[in-house]
Amino acid sequence: MPEYVVFDFCQCVSYDNGGWSNVEAKISVVRFNGMGKIKVSKQRDLFDYQKRISDFDMDKYSFLVGKEIRSWLREFFFAGLTAILMVVFVVQPVKVEGTSMEPKLNPQDRIFVNKIVYRFSQISRGDIVVFWYPKNISKSFIKRVIGLPGETVEIRSGVVFVDGRELVESYIPSEYFDFKSFAPKVVSDGNYFVLGDHRNSSNDSRIWGLVPKQNIFGEAVFRYWPLSHLGLIGEGK
């Protein structure tokens, strides 16, 4: 298979009356491998390839470059399609508004919500969920699941009890604590009792009641902004 010459644009070469000037610059001698790839085999003086340059097949070169570009475009297309399908069917980007989930989540945090996780698993205590606000389904809230169907939730001077047992909530620093009490509440079937981690700054089940399962949009699973807090949300919950 013939060799072809590829020039380094940093080199100064000239063509004069059908021949290359006597330039000492080095150039790359390459071979086409038949798969659209170019392999550098060696370097020689430009003067040695005055005859070979006339054999360069521009049509073949253009075809191979075009083939490579088409391959890149195809890969970009499938990558973009995969991303779109992920957003439509699997995850949803969400911006956190308000302070009710501090310090776990802060205002303006960007997170991904897994929209299909509860098709394959049960909602668990401690899950951070995004749901349509029961009093106005045009609004979405983000809270932590505290009480499951059939359980009784009570708050005594800020301490949460589920079925009479104290719930250990190490994720709430003392400055986010609320010392108010809440009378025992039975969580009916198909509903959940939710609270914000920032207890003295959260509009949650203590105020407006339970969240129906069908209102739960998905689980907050990953924070992608800010980059300084990039990572899984569920860690340490």
Mean pLDDT, the chain, as a whole number? 78
> How sure is the predictor about 66, in pLDDT bands with cuts at 50, 70 and 90?
low
Give the per-residue pLDDT at 68.
72
User: Which residues, other chains included, contact 14 with Cβ-Cβ below 8 Å and sequence gap of 6+?
Assistant: 20, 21, 23
Task: Kindly list the distances between the CA atom of residue 107 and the CA atoms of 47, 59, 97, 102, 236, in Å, as whole numbers in the listed order.
Answer: 67, 58, 5, 8, 20
Q: What separation in angstroms does the CA of 101 have from each of 111, 152, 181, 202, 222?
A: 13, 23, 20, 8, 15
pTM above 0.85, yes or no: no
Q: What is the mean pLDDT of residues 77-100?
A: 73
Q: Per-residue pLDDT tens for 20-42? A: 444 444 444 444 444 444 444 44
**Structure tokens that stand for 145 in this block:** 């699941």
* Residues that are catalytic: 100, 143
CATH level 3 topology of 96-232: Umud Fragment, subunit A (2.10.109)
The pLDDT, as a whole number, for residue 90 is 80
172 pLDDT tier (thresholds 50, 70, 90): very high
Mean pLDDT of 61-86: 63
Domain boundaries, the chain: 1-56, 61-89, 96-232
